[in-house]
Amino acid sequence: MGAAFPLMRSIIILCALFACAWAISGPHIADLNVLLPPVMTNPVEYRLLGSDGCFT
């Protein structure tokens, strides 16, 4: 019974450290905005004219 307490305490400390490290790491929204293309204010629709694989 006496040896179980240090083991449990170590496991709890490791879990707490892992939870803190997981919460801090990871992408932030400011980092993701750099990777996104700019928003188009006037989107343009394109239509390919042609048939049978031949486009003009």
DSSP H helices, 1-56, are 4-24, 29-35
pLDDT for 10 equals 80
pLDDT for 8 equals 81
pLDDT for 34 equals 73
User: pTM value?
Assistant: 0.33
Question: Which residue type occupies 33?
Answer: N
Q: Please tell me whether residue 49 adopts helix, strand or coil conformation.
A: coil
Which residue range forms the structural domain that includes residue 12?
Answer: 3-55
CB 13 within 8 A of CB 19: no
DSSP 37: P
Q: What is the pLDDT of residues 2-50, one digit of tens each?
A: 667 777 888 888 767 666 555 566 666 776 777 777 777 887 787 777 7
Write out the two tokens for 37.
């293309």
| Total domain count, the chain | 1
pLDDT for 9 equals 82
pLDDT for 22 equals 54
